[in-house]
Structure 1
Amino acid sequence: MEWLRKRGIKLEQIAELVMFLQQKYFPELTIEYCMYNIEQVLRKREVQNAILTGIQLDILAEEGKLIPALQEMVENDEGLYGVDEVLALSIVNVYGSIGFTNFGYVDKMKYGVLEQLNDKSDGHIHTFLDDIVGAIAAAASSRIAHRKQAEREAEMAQLKAKADSEA
């Protein structure tokens, strides 16, 4: 979380992305619950590793310290580069295939903070960070979806058990 903050990202901004992805499916969703799920995603070591790797590569690109061919690709966030998305997919993969669709959607829409990171108006390189932030939001959204599905299944099992006992 410290490195996300250093790069200008607030968890509330990521929570807005989670709301964007999930509110249609769960109208009772709150920012607080989104924040909780983001925090749970950020506890995972593989997520932390991806964040640190991506941020370090963005910083090295800002400093001009990458080899020339890679420097140009990262600096310009070239569409065919794709390694930034692959790194982000390691985050969404933690919560299953729904994470991939959530990530693809939020990455394409460039909603909220993702639009700001993508337009590069702050003078920083965010080739990896924009995808990492989108992936964290997608993973938290997936975590919420999995929890809601588990709640529904438990509720159905209780109803079935009650019906069986009454029969």
Structure 2
Amino acid sequence: MHIHEEAKERHTLSVVVDNEPGILARIAGLFTARGYNIESLTVADVTEDESISRITIVTSGVPATIEQIIAQLDRLVPVHKVLDLTALGPHVERELALVKVAGVGDHRIEALRLADVYRARVVDATTGSFVFEVTGGSDKIDTFVTLMREVGLVEVARTGVVAIARGREAV
């Protein structure tokens, strides 16, 4: 007899919260206490008076786990709204990375050529290194970083995913 195991799915969650001290720690603690992994987490205030923040969390799990995470987040007092952008359908996800590459000669030329292909901007340059800024989906960033390893990658800093639903309405 075959036991069928459900496949883990990657989900992007948007959590709208009161911008108050400790809320991020409480949300991270909820994930930690239950052994859920956070693959990416970003947070910023989204209102003019800085009273509301949007936390974007990328996590993976079987559907029942994702539902449980959403229900538990929804129960936290300063949480206004939890949306599973993945389940809602079309949404836009972007990430920004700063990628430092050191090299001379052909490696330097190749780094610039690849940066052009990936629409990465040079935001700092010395005679022996570049810092590129690249934005896009996480797959694009991953691929760019992998290619830069071959021409002198030194270090990478990434923002994590930010996401928003498509369409005319705020959700």
Q: TM-score range by the shorter chain?
A: under 0.3
With the length of structure 1 as denominator, give the TM-score of the two structures. Answer: 0.26
Higher strand share: 2
Hey, which of these two has a bigger chunk of helix by percent? 1
Larger of the two Rg values belongs to structure: 2
What is the TM-score of this pair, normalised by structure 2?
0.26
